[in-house]
Structure 1
Amino acid sequence: MENKSNSAYNFTKLLEFFHIVENLKKTKRTGWINHNIKNPESISDHMYRMSILALLLNDDNLDKNKCIKMAVVHDLAEGIVGDIVPNEGVTKEEKNRRETEAMQYICKELLENSLQSQEIFSLWQEYENGETMEAKFVKDLDKFEMILQAFEYEKSDKKDLTEFFESTKGKFNHPLIKSWVEELYLKRQI
């Protein structure tokens, strides 16, 4: 007899999960919409580039594969709750409650609490808690990817997006990301 981790998922539930992932592809990031960016990135665009950036990790103290996986799932709940930004009047506690409920629904209901869903939930929870070295690194990646995108939109859309840079100033911890941030700031001055 097969165990749950190797058995076929209920395809109706799996299809609903696939649609949630599709929402990540279709949902544009709120911060860019609020700044009238012509062609704003989607949530999945952001997650994808973070994953690629995590591939560049060269730090023996961190589990690179875990960082890549964490980058892939860190915004998965937004496929249900949307991209909630700080200035929308939703408290951090309320945002966390909504995202936790979304992740529980995805992992327990749709993915039927399989080993894979347990891994997804665990990675997401680790990221949210931000206490491990890997979670701290991925949080740095999250902020860096945002300012990298802001830099690109400043050039393409001729906008001043200084507030995105200001919101992250002094908040980076990992040496690799800090070096990227310094280089980006230099490029931004040119």
Structure 2
Amino acid sequence: MNILHLAIQMNLSKKLKRSGWIRENIKDPESLAEHCFTITVLITILSKYLGVSEEKLIRMAIVHNFSALLTEDFVVERGKKIFKRLQKKKEKIEKEAIRTIFWDYDMNYSNLYNEMVQRKSKESIIFWQIDKLATTIQAYDYEKEQNKSLSEFFENARIYIKEPLLKKAFEDLKKMRKSFK
């Protein structure tokens, strides 16, 4: 088991800026690690209210962080558009990378990745909704701080966020957004 290799790989996520924010010319865009941290905090707080396994969702956040790191967080969705061919290509690269990184630890990470991309289990559905909520919270901050319109991120999240508790938070965020525009 090479713990240093794993830790060094994870450390890289502190340096990789999220590609959507770079594309939008955000000053000082959040890193992949910062995004993962926000997701993990939301999971820790909300999992018991959502009736899902906190541990499983945190593991999903770790897998998500590594998979995005290895594809340099390239974007396969813009607003309501999902680029299916790009998504398949990205998932293939991520799947192989996850298998390679975690082969020495636990094959369950590979299985977990598969579960995440299939988006059929309750945990995977909730995970992606939390991911989208975290992204819109960040978009809200950037809109407020940098006087930008990042509507595309809200449009995209609206497609995914269905869980009542998360949807309420999302709707509240949209109301807050209107109040400063």
Please indicate, yes or no, whether the TM-score normalized by the shorter chain is above 0.5. Answer: yes
Q: In the alignment, does 2:78 pair up with 1:83?
A: no
What does residue range 1-190 of structure 1 map to in structure 2 within 5 Å?
9=1, 11=2, 14-57=3-46, 58-59=48-49, 61-86=51-76, 91-108=86-103, 112=104, 114=105, 117-190=106-179
Q: Which shows bigger deviation, 56-65 or 74-83?
A: 56-65
TM-score (structure 2 length as normaliser): 0.87
Q: Which shows bigger deviation, 49-58 or 71-80?
A: 71-80
Which residue does the alignment assign to 1:3? none
Q: Rg larger in 1 or in 2? A: 1
In the alignment, structure 2 segments of 5+ residues that lack a partner are none
Query: What code does the residue aligned with 1:131 have?
Result: K
Aligned residues: 173
Contact kept? 2:99, 2:107, Cα under 8 Å: no
**Displacement over 6 Å in runs of 4+:** 87-90
Q: Which shows bigger deviation, 63-72 or 43-52?
A: 63-72
Contact kept? 2:129, 2:157, Cα under 8 Å: no
SS at match of 1:56: helix
Deviation by residue 1:74-123 (Cα, 9 ceiling, x = unmatched): 23122222101026986111111111111111012xxx2x3xx3233333
Contact kept? 1:24, 1:42, Cα under 8 Å: yes
Contact kept? 1:48, 1:72, Cα under 8 Å: no
Q: Which shows bigger deviation, 180-189 or 58-67?
A: 58-67
In the alignment, the residues of structure 2 paired with residue 163 and residue 78 of structure 1 have an alpha-carbon distance, to the nearest angstrom, of 20
Which one has a larger percent helix, Structure 1 or Structure 2? 2
Query: What code does the residue aligned with 1:123 have?
Result: L
In structure 2, do the counterparts of structure 1 residues 33 and 68 end up closer, same or farther at CA, with 3 Å as the change threshold?
A: same
Structure 1 residue 60, shift from structure 2 partner:
6.3
The alignment yields a C-alpha RMSD, in angstroms, of: 1.9
SS at match of 1:75: helix
Q: Which shows bigger deviation, 126-135 or 79-88?
A: 79-88
Identity %: 30
Contact kept? 2:13, 2:69, Cα under 8 Å: yes
